[in-house]
Amino acid sequence: MSRGADGMAVVERAIGLASELVPVDAVRDAIAGDGGVVWLVIGRRSAGKSRLVNRLVGAEQEEGLGGVTSEVVACSDGGLTLLDSPGIEDDLAGADLIEEHLGAIDGLLWVVDGLQPLTRVERDAVERAAPVDLPLVAVVSRLDLVDPGEHDAILHRVFRLLAARSPVVVPGGRDADPAPLALLRKPVDPLRSPRKKAAIRSSLEGVAQALLHLSHASGPDPAGLATEAASRFEARLREAQEDVAARVRDHHILFRDEALQALHGHLLGAADDVRAFLRAELGEAPTWKPAPPDTLDLAGQAKDLFGGTRQVLDGLQTGADAWSVAAALAFEAVTTLPVSRMLLQRASALTAAREAVDAALRIL
Ligand SMILES: Nc1nc2c(ncn2[C@@H]2O[C@H](COP(=O)(O)OP(=O)(O)OP(=O)(O)O)[C@@H](O)[C@H]2O)c(=O)[nH]1
Ligand SMILES: [Mg+2]
C-alpha cells in the first residue's frame, strides 16, 4: 500500500467514527474535490512554458523573446487550470514563487528545456520549496531541435535527476504527441495535493471543533430522563383507568378481564409515546412493552357477572394498582440502566472519534 493509501485509511476512519456524532459532509466534499485540477507551470526562462500552456488549454499567452511572462496567470479549459509563471532565473525567487502558490495547486508541471535539461537554479528552487511528494510532471521541450538518437538519454537524465520525486517525464517539442498530457486532467491523490489537503484539513478542523463542542455540552441526565419517562407513563395510566372505568359504568365493558385488556391496549400506546420521548432525547430508546394481563380468570368473570359494575371497577382498580407498581419498577429497570449504557457508549464513541480526527489532522 502506498503512503497515500495508508493516509486515506486514517482519514476515512476519522470520518466514519465522527459521522456517528456530527455532520461530516464537508470533509467528504473536500475529498471528492471540485473536479478541477490546478498545476503550477515552472521552468527556466524561455523553456517553453507559455507555449505549452497555450497548446494545452487554448490560452493566448505571449511567447518568445517579445513575450516574456512577468507574472503568474491562471489559464483554464474546463477542469484544467494551468498557472503560467515567470521563468526561474534565481533559486530564491523561484522558491518564493512555488511557496506562494503551494496551497492553491495540485502539482507542478515543470517545463524542462531539452537543450539544457534542468539547470541547478531550477532544481534548487524546487528543492527549497516543493514537498517531495508533490505530484510532478516534467515535459521536456525542444526535443524537435535534438537528434532523435539522443532523446532517450535526455529523458533518462531528467528522470534520474528527479527520481526522488517519482516524476512522470513526458517528451515534448514541436510535433510531440499530446496524448500523454491527458493525465494532467485526472484527479490527483488527495493527500499529495496541497490544495486538496488544505481543504480536507480545514473541513476536518470543523469536525474536530464540533466534537469538542459535543464533549463539553452537558449530556442528558439518565436519572432525570428515567423519572420524566416514568411520570409520563403514569399520567397515561391514570387517563387510561378513567377511560376504562367510564366504559364499565356505561356497560360497554362487563368483565374485569375485558377491562384489563382495554387497559393494556392503552398502555401499549403509552409505552410507544414514552419510547418516542426517549428517542427524541437520546437518539434511541429501550425496547420494552408492558406485558399483557394474566390469562382469563373464569372464577373472577363469574363473580363480575353477579357483582355487576362495582365488582368490575374494583377488579380494574386492583389490576391497575398492581400495574402502576410494576410499571414504576419496570421503568426503573428498562430506562435508567440502558440510558446510562447509551450515554457511556456515546462518551466512548466521542473519545474514539476525537482521537481518530486528531490522528488524521496530524498527517494532513
Ligand atoms: N522548436 C521549439 N521551440 C519552442 C518549443 N517550446 C517553445 N519554443 C519557443 O521558444 C520560445 C520561448 O517560449 P515561451 O513559451 O515563451 O517560453 P516561456 O518559458 O514561457 O518563457 P518566459 O515566459 O520568458 O519564461 C518561443 O519562441 C517558443 O515558440 C519547442 O518545444 N520547440
Ligand atoms: Mg512565458
**Ligand 1 pocket, mutate which of 50, 53, 122, 140 (most atoms under 8 A from CB):** 50
- Which atom of ligand 1 sits closest to the CA of residue 111? 19
43 CB within 6 A, ligand 1: yes
**Ligand 1 pocket, mutate which of 42, 46, 68 (most atoms under 8 A from CB):** 46
User: Which of the residues in the chain have pLDDT under 50?
Assistant: 1-2
- Which atom of ligand 1 sits closest to the CA of residue 145? 1
**Residue 122, beta-bridge partner list:** none
The DSSP call for residue 127 is H
- Which atom of ligand 1 sits closest to the CA of residue 176? 31
H or E element, residue 141: strand 136-141
Q: What is the Cα–Cα distance from 302 to 94, expressed in whole angstroms?
A: 103
Q: Whose CA is nearest to atom 32 of ligand 1?
A: 142
Q: What is the Cα–Cα distance from 228 to 331, expressed in whole angstroms?
A: 10
> What is the distance in A from the centroid of ligand 2 to the CA of 104?
20
| Per-residue model confidence as pLDDT tens digits over 90-140 | 999 999 999 999 999 999 999 999 999 999 999 999 999 999 999 999 999
- Which atom of ligand 1 sits closest to the CA of residue 52? 15
> What is the distance in A from the centroid of ligand 1 to the CA of 64?
5
- Which atom of ligand 1 sits closest to the CA of residue 143? 31
> What is the distance in A from the centroid of ligand 1 to the CA of 120?
20
Beta pairing class for 107-113 and 80-84: unpaired
45 CB within 6 A, ligand 1: yes
Residue 15 has a pLDDT of 97
Q: Whose CA is nearest to atom 28 of ligand 1?
A: 64
Q: Are 349 and 21 in contact (CB under 8 A)?
A: yes
190 CB within 6 A, ligand 1: no
- Which atom of ligand 1 sits closest to the CA of residue 87? 25
In 3D space, the residue among 228, 226, 227, 236 whose CA is nearest the CA of residue 324 turns out to be 236
- Which atom of ligand 1 sits closest to the CA of residue 46? 21
> What is the distance in A from the centroid of ligand 2 to the CA of 61?
7
Helices (H), 150-221: 151-161, 194-216
6 CB within 6 A, ligand 1: no
Measured CA to CA in angstroms, residue 210 lies from 11, 19, 205, 338, 354 at distances of 17, 11, 9, 26, 10
174 CB within 6 A, ligand 1: yes
48 CB within 6 A, ligand 1: yes
172 CB within 6 A, ligand 1: yes
Q: Whose CA is nearest to atom 26 of ligand 1?
A: 64
Q: Which domains does the chain have, with CATH numbers?
A: 36-186 (3.40.50.300), 219-363 (no CATH)
> What is the distance in A from the centroid of ligand 2 to the CA of 149?
29
Residue 343 has a pLDDT of 72
pTM exceeds cut of 0.75: no
Q: Are 234 and 270 in contact (CB under 8 A)?
A: no
89 CB within 6 A, ligand 1: no
